[in-house]
Chains A and B, each alone.
Chain A
Amino acid sequence: MDLDSVEPAFAKKEFLAVLIAGFGNELLPLTSNNGDEPSPKALLPVANKPLIEYVLSWLEQAGVKDVLLICPDAHQSALHHHINSDISPSALNVDLLPYNETLESPEGTASLLRHFASRITEDFVLVPCDFIPPPSLPLSALLNKFRIESTTNDAIVSTCWVPAYVPEKGVLLDEWGPVPAPPAIVWDPATHALLHVDTPDDLDSNGEEFELKMDLLSQYPRTKLSSSFQDSHVYVCQRRVLELLKEKKKLDSFREDFIPWLCKLQYQPIKRRKYARLFADAPRTQMLALKHSTLSSESRSSKAPQPHDDGEEPAREPTFKVSISIHEPTDSLALRINNVYTFLEANRALLSSTTYSLPSDPKDRSLIDHKVQISSDSIVGDSTQIAERTIIKRSVIGRHCVIGKGVKISGCILFDHCVVEDGAKLDGSILGKNTKVGSKAEMTRCISCPGFEVNGGGKYTLKGEKLDISDWTADQSVPADSSDDDGESSDEEDP
């Protein structure tokens, strides 16, 4: 038999990726609707590349072929369009699963998994759409770790934690909101077991102290406690997780409810036994291979093997181990884009590794004036027009933008189709899609929603604001300067 000709469909898939794309409320106003069109978080550009692409290519590199992309109804068409367009070149087999939910009451990940459980038939990797993994953390490393942990120690979930984003001094702005505090966790460095995750409920019930069960301490007498790590929300899970989720219907969030609950099972033998009954013991795929592997000496029994009644093999009980890997990247940050600070930070981090060069396409090049200064750590998208004496420093400019004369842009992120008129000054701001900035307007550390218009005329100096449509209508009441009509009419949309 020719082994090469075996259809890949016959080979059992090992991992399925489950990608959750949410509304991204925490990134408002960038994710506000643009007119009637939604702005899915997954498609927000980071260094001119949609956010979801980072995760998709990460999955692809690890050899994961099948992806379930779960997104809200409203985002289905936008995501569908993106995945099937040539911007997303991957060979992944992406299955788009829309679910019906509203902006006001988003469903928790655990609920979504329960809902789509029938679609998941094998072990899976749960990935958020907003994680930008550093190059030093390939997904395959996490998968390998799970393969070992799940076979030798019967780990049910592998979690991955990265250093929490700590804003530098002065970065935080009241108007931009706070950075969510990472939860405190307790883990055992010797066995890589995640033992406790502090939840908001715990904080409510005891705001002064962490309450740890004594059973935890007696079984894991030497543990670490820290709140300087954040959950990457990448979970490699056994299929069994879905069975547990089915049992625990009340748990809504995977990260905040399910994982903390699951951690506790590790030191509650009675409860563990109760849930163990749910599983008909299916042998792990890699079991045989690992039995012969030298790696399996990593098994955690520090105690001497206990003699048991001979003849009777003890039933293998699931340990429900939640394993933890803490990755402290040396090359670049591991960031979750779940607030505007990390969004900005991720863009900046990617900028520092790029070098700008003028577009090679002569047509694009002709759009950029000779007297334009663009610093090397900047990115300018295709078909963007930049007029003379404009200075761009350390910024990302989207595609099809139109930037007038003598504009100063530093440390900014401009999404596609933005228009900046003559003499405007932008500093540390993020402009949503289609934002229009009038001439001589000054913006410092502002965030605008898609389609926002800032009036020109040099009368406006905006500082540290989140500009949403509601603000915008308020702005309209201020008499607009009349000089804002030149330049705007130019063809901002290339064919």
Chain B
Amino acid sequence: MASKNAASGKEKLIDEEQEILQAVVLADSWNRRFRPLTTKKPRCLLPICNAPLLDWTFESLALAGVQEVFVICRSYSEQIKDAIKKSKWSRTGSGMKIVPIMTAKETYSAGDAMRDIYTRGLVTGDFILVQGDLVSNIQIDEVVRVHKERRKTNKDAILTMVVKEAGVQHRTRSRGDSPIFVVDSETSECLHYEPSFAFPKKQHANIPREVLAEHKEVEIRYDLIDCGIDVCSFEVPSLFQDNFDYLDMRRDFVHGVLTSDLLMKNIHVFVAKDGYAARVQDTRSYESISKDILSRWTFPLVPDDNYPGSERYQHTGGNQYVAKTHPATISRTAKIGRNTLIGASTRIHDNAEIIASVIGPNCTIGAGSVIENAYIFEGTTVGAECRVTRSIVGSGVEIRDGSTVERGSLIGDGVVIGPGAKLKPFERLSVPWKAPASTAGSDEDEDEDSDIEDIEASQDTVDKASLGPESNAIVWIDKPPEDDDLDSPENYNNLKYMRLGEDDVTLDVHHSDKDTESVVSEEQQLQDSSDEEDNYDDHTDAESVVSLSKDTQGGLMADKEFRSEVNQSLERAFAEGHSVDNAAVELKTLRMASNVPLIRVKEAVVAAIVEKIPVLEGAAEQRTEVNKTIARWGQLINKIGGVDPVETISLLQRHISTSARMSLFGQILAAFYQSDVVEEDDIRAWHSLSTSQGIDLPLGEERENMGKAWIVGALMIHQLDQQSDSEEEESDEDEEASD
């Protein structure tokens, strides 16, 4: 190596040394997928394999050589602060400085947190952004290096997302939120990001055509797990600051940056070939990540090595882990299956069976009980002859003798059930909020509070017999909320796909060849038949129909409001004598803003123009007045877009049938014709429409008037016929004359 190079290399080295590697951990998840486990503590302090999630995250960051970590906490920030203070990272010489940042209660999203980071000026250079639920052994420093290297040539590369390759059906891949990435295979630039939820089921991936404009060949990837690790450049928080509507890191920020014509920033992906990274996003991934840890995919982050908790574990064949420092007491006749973790000082009685489960410290499992694929937190007692399957049981829970906990249940801290309780699958239990045990501090969520009150209030309707006579629990009722937001992954049906113990058979999203046929066949048949009719157009399936009707409902709601807005706007135009073009622009804007179909606007405009005509006594005066108004404003009808004169006449007829200006129909129509708003052919076309006679309307004045209007139209056509006949004759004569 040339000496010069060495010197500059050294300089650079010093530079890089000065720049310490920072990470930001968002401790809040801004969703409620773990409730009721998280009613009294933050999700990031839930234990996974007996160590709090946050500690796993810290461990993951420490592996990557991060030196400074900011933890952004909102809910239960005091608890998080305490946890950090007590953790081993706070000891001197840990090599990593952890700074908890309390953010305001009004921080409702990752976007808000990023804006907070910006205003506080926390980060000084490129930083790693992770969620407080990450378990990873990826060398993130490698990603940072690649990111920095890229930044040297491309200043616009602001973000590198770490993703991991996996199959579509991989257990760690969240089914409720499995995005599509479109990536340039050479530069790994992400060109398009499209979220996809299990519900509402996406029919199509929409990839912008322009991605091919600048890239010859791109890859469409639906096999990536988003690890939730982002290497951000320092300008990322400022972008959040500039775009105050960015909430979610992916759906808003990534999507926004990629679709923006103004920002001109690039986002890249880093496909991690080696290593493991996943987020505990929901109870389903909680299970899969627990299993991944126990089967050592996350090495060295395993209970017997770089374990973030305080306990040491003994690893034996078949991936059994038993606490070493405070050994568990296990009966000789108890059966311990594979992939099982048993916490410190836990007692397991005779003939108990533990299969692929995690048992917290200081637990007691009664004689003859079967714990299968369950996750039991600290200090919980399971009585004799109980059965717990595929569930998460909080700390300090008592499950008394002879109880059964079915799959998918979540049991909050301190709950007592049994004896002889029989829980339904997916039951969620917690203790009442105002129970004496609760230490409702200053930092509980008002929002959450009211929710819990609701649940408590509805307890009377719930049959609690199944919880056993000694139970103190309240039941969380599983019902879809009224304001279900289908655009968010947190919608009711989508959450189902993210919960623990959900069976693939009952809820399969993906069409593999065989097992899903029963679910999808009907829909597919529908598609098929429509496909047959017009080759490719198969958008008409049940779901889109549903959403459409919903939309129109929403439209009706806003209709009245919109109508009055249009009237106001037109009144202004009439009063202030705007030009037709200006009025049209204003109406168009209004239409965009309230998202109503064009015909509504037209309806309103026709009505407004008709009502604008003053009713006068004399026939001649009336006629001039009509002509004046139409001549001035008639063209507005065609200016607002979608010229359809036949529709215009229908709307006029419809409106006038219920209006005091019924008698003016003929004159107005004539005036329309005069000022070229409608043509002769349009009048004929309207007249021949079946709806124009108003026969399908209920008997009454409106129908009568519709009929009258139709007759007026007939007269007019008759006149026109005569006129054109004579014209033809005239022109014939003309021709003859010219010959």
Q: Are A223 and B206 in contact (CB under 8 A)?
A: no
Other-chain residue from A250, A267, A270 in contact with B525 (beta carbon distance below 8 A)? A270
In the bound complex, residues from chain B placing their C-beta under 8 Å from that of A257 are: 535
Q: Are A226 and B217 in contact (CB under 8 A)?
A: yes
Other-chain residue from B180, B185, B207, B536 in contact with A209 (beta carbon distance below 8 A)? B207
Provide a sorted-by-A list of 15 A–B residue pairs whose CB atoms are within 8 angstroms: A186-B220, A202-B536, A209-B207, A211-B204, A213-B204, A214-B196, A214-B203, A219-B512, A222-B219, A222-B223, A225-B182, A226-B217, A226-B218, A269-B517, A271-B528
Q: Are A268 and B222 in contact (CB under 8 A)?
A: no
Stretch binding the partner chain, chosen from B208-216, B366-374, B591-599, B616-624? B208-216
> How would residues 265 to 296 of chain A score, 1 for a CB under 8 Å from any chain B CB and 0 otherwise?
00111110010000000000000000000000
Q: Are B208 and A221 in contact (CB under 8 A)?
A: no
Q: CA–CA, A37 to B345, complex, Å?
A: 101
CB neighbors of A among B509-532 (8 A): 509-513, 517, 520-521, 524-525, 527-528, 531
In the bound complex, residues from chain A placing their C-beta under 8 Å from that of B218 are: 224-226
Q: Are A223 and B220 in contact (CB under 8 A)?
A: yes
In the bound complex, residues from chain A placing their C-beta under 8 Å from that of B536 are: 199, 201-202, 260-261
> How would residues 219 to 237 of chain A score, 1 for a CB under 8 Å from any chain B CB and 0 otherwise?
1011111111000000000
Is B205 part of the contact surface with A, judged by Cβ < 8 Å?
A: yes
Is B258 part of the contact surface with A, judged by Cβ < 8 Å?
A: no
Is B239 part of the contact surface with A, judged by Cβ < 8 Å?
A: no
Is B202 part of the contact surface with A, judged by Cβ < 8 Å?
A: yes
A195 to chain B, nearest CB (A): 10
Q: Are A274 and B205 in contact (CB under 8 A)?
A: no
Q: CA–CA, A23 to B204, complex, Å?
A: 38
In the bound complex, residues from chain A placing their C-beta under 8 Å from that of B196 are: 214
Nearest to A250 among chain B residues (CB) is B535
* New contact pairs (7) apart from A213-B204, A217-B180, A271-B531, CB-CB < 8 Å: A214-B205, A217-B168, A217-B222, A224-B220, A226-B216, A269-B524, A270-B524
Q: Are A213 and B203 in contact (CB under 8 A)?
A: yes
CB neighbors of B among A185-231 (8 A): 186, 199, 201-202, 205-219, 221-228
A126 to chain B, nearest CB (A): 21
Is A179 part of the contact surface with B, judged by Cβ < 8 Å?
A: no
A308 to chain B, nearest CB (A): 10
Q: Are B511 and A209 in contact (CB under 8 A)?
A: no
B343 to chain A, nearest CB (A): 35
Chain A, interface size category, equals 35 or more
Is A184 part of the contact surface with B, judged by Cβ < 8 Å?
A: yes
A110 to chain B, nearest CB (A): 12
In the bound complex, residues from chain B placing their C-beta under 8 Å from that of A267 are: 511
Is B32 part of the contact surface with A, judged by Cβ < 8 Å?
A: no
Q: CA–CA, A85 to B491, complex, Å?
A: 74
CB neighbors of A among B390-418 (8 A): none
Given A217-B180, A225-B182, A226-B218, A209–B528 Cβ distance below 8 Å? no
Is B151 part of the contact surface with A, judged by Cβ < 8 Å?
A: no
Q: CA–CA, A359 to B219, complex, Å?
A: 54
In the bound complex, residues from chain B placing their C-beta under 8 Å from that of A218 are: 168, 222, 509-512
Q: CA–CA, A58 to B4, complex, Å?
A: 60
Is B121 part of the contact surface with A, judged by Cβ < 8 Å?
A: no
Nearest to A272 among chain B residues (CB) is B513
Q: Are B219 and A224 in contact (CB under 8 A)?
A: yes
Given A268-B524, A269-B513, A271-B524, A225–B220 Cβ distance below 8 Å? yes
Q: Are A228 and B217 in contact (CB under 8 A)?
A: yes
Q: Are B167 and A221 in contact (CB under 8 A)?
A: yes
Q: Are B521 and A214 in contact (CB under 8 A)?
A: no
8 A-B pairs with least C-beta separation: A221-B223, A217-B222, A209-B206, A226-B217, A221-B222, A218-B510, A211-B204, A270-B524
Q: CA–CA, A211 to B528, complex, Å?
A: 17
CB neighbors of A among B257-307 (8 A): none
Q: CA–CA, A3 to B510, complex, Å?
A: 55
Given A184-B212, A270-B517, A214–B201 Cβ distance below 8 Å? yes
In the bound complex, residues from chain B placing their C-beta under 8 Å from that of A260 are: 536
In the bound complex, residues from chain B placing their C-beta under 8 Å from that of A210 are: 205-209
Nearest to B210 among chain A residues (CB) is A208
In the bound complex, residues from chain A placing their C-beta under 8 Å from that of B509 are: 218
Nearest to B523 among chain A residues (CB) is A270
Q: CA–CA, A69 to B148, complex, Å?
A: 61
A32 to chain B, nearest CB (A): 34
Q: Are A274 and B528 in contact (CB under 8 A)?
A: yes
In the bound complex, residues from chain B placing their C-beta under 8 Å from that of A215 are: 511
B contact residues vs A (CB 8 Å cutoff): 167-168, 180, 182, 185, 196, 201-209, 211-212, 216-223, 509-513, 517, 520-521, 524-525, 527-528, 531, 535-537
Nearest to B216 among chain A residues (CB) is A228
B504 to chain A, nearest CB (A): 13
Q: CA–CA, A271 to B510, complex, Å?
A: 17
Given A202-B536, A271-B531, A226–B208 Cβ distance below 8 Å? no
Residue from A215, A226, A260, A270 with most neighbouring chain B CB atoms (10 Å): A270
Q: Are B513 and A225 in contact (CB under 8 A)?
A: no
Nearest to A198 among chain B residues (CB) is B209
Q: Are A205 and B537 in contact (CB under 8 A)?
A: yes
Q: CA–CA, A78 to B684, complex, Å?
A: 55
Nearest to A273 among chain B residues (CB) is B517
Q: CA–CA, A304 to B222, complex, Å?
A: 20
In the bound complex, residues from chain B placing their C-beta under 8 Å from that of A217 are: 168, 180, 205, 220, 222
Q: CA–CA, A215 to B524, complex, Å?
A: 11
A400 to chain B, nearest CB (A): 45
Q: CA–CA, A211 to B538, complex, Å?
A: 12
In the bound complex, residues from chain B placing their C-beta under 8 Å from that of A186 are: 220
In the bound complex, residues from chain B placing their C-beta under 8 Å from that of A212 are: 204-207, 220
Other-chain residue from B202, B212, B217, B221 in contact with A222 (beta carbon distance below 8 A)? B221
Q: CA–CA, A213 to B208, complex, Å?
A: 14
Residue from B206, B216, B219, B511 with most neighbouring chain A CB atoms (10 Å): B511
In the bound complex, residues from chain A placing their C-beta under 8 Å from that of B513 are: 269
Q: CA–CA, A224 to B509, complex, Å?
A: 23
Nearest to B537 among chain A residues (CB) is A205
Residue from A202, A212, A251, A260 with most neighbouring chain B CB atoms (10 Å): A212
In the bound complex, residues from chain A placing their C-beta under 8 Å from that of B537 are: 205
In the bound complex, residues from chain A placing their C-beta under 8 Å from that of B527 are: 268
Q: Are A227 and B212 in contact (CB under 8 A)?
A: yes
Q: Are B212 and A226 in contact (CB under 8 A)?
A: yes
Q: CA–CA, A134 to B524, complex, Å?
A: 43
B585 to chain A, nearest CB (A): 24
Q: CA–CA, A328 to B205, complex, Å?
A: 29
Nearest to A213 among chain B residues (CB) is B204
In the bound complex, residues from chain B placing their C-beta under 8 Å from that of A211 are: 204-206
In the bound complex, residues from chain B placing their C-beta under 8 Å from that of A261 are: 535-536
In the bound complex, residues from chain B placing their C-beta under 8 Å from that of A225 are: 182, 207, 211-212, 217-220
In the bound complex, residues from chain B placing their C-beta under 8 Å from that of A205 are: 537
Q: CA–CA, A199 to B537, complex, Å?
A: 12
In the bound complex, residues from chain A placing their C-beta under 8 Å from that of B203 are: 213-214
Q: CA–CA, A426 to B692, complex, Å?
A: 68
Nearest to B525 among chain A residues (CB) is A270
B533 to chain A, nearest CB (A): 10
Q: CA–CA, A210 to B207, complex, Å?
A: 5
> How would residues 249 to 267 of chain A score, 1 for a CB under 8 Å from any chain B CB and 0 otherwise?
0110000010011000001
Nearest to B191 among chain A residues (CB) is A225
B683 to chain A, nearest CB (A): 32
In the bound complex, residues from chain B placing their C-beta under 8 Å from that of A184 are: 209, 212
In the bound complex, residues from chain A placing their C-beta under 8 Å from that of B524 are: 268-271
In the bound complex, residues from chain B placing their C-beta under 8 Å from that of A208 are: 208-209
Q: Are B217 and A224 in contact (CB under 8 A)?
A: yes
In the bound complex, residues from chain A placing their C-beta under 8 Å from that of B204 are: 211-214
In the bound complex, residues from chain A placing their C-beta under 8 Å from that of B167 are: 221
B397 to chain A, nearest CB (A): 38
Given A210-B206, A211-B206, A269–B528 Cβ distance below 8 Å? no
Q: CA–CA, A2 to B436, complex, Å?
A: 102
Q: CA–CA, A93 to B148, complex, Å?
A: 65
In the bound complex, residues from chain B placing their C-beta under 8 Å from that of A216 are: 205
A166 to chain B, nearest CB (A): 10
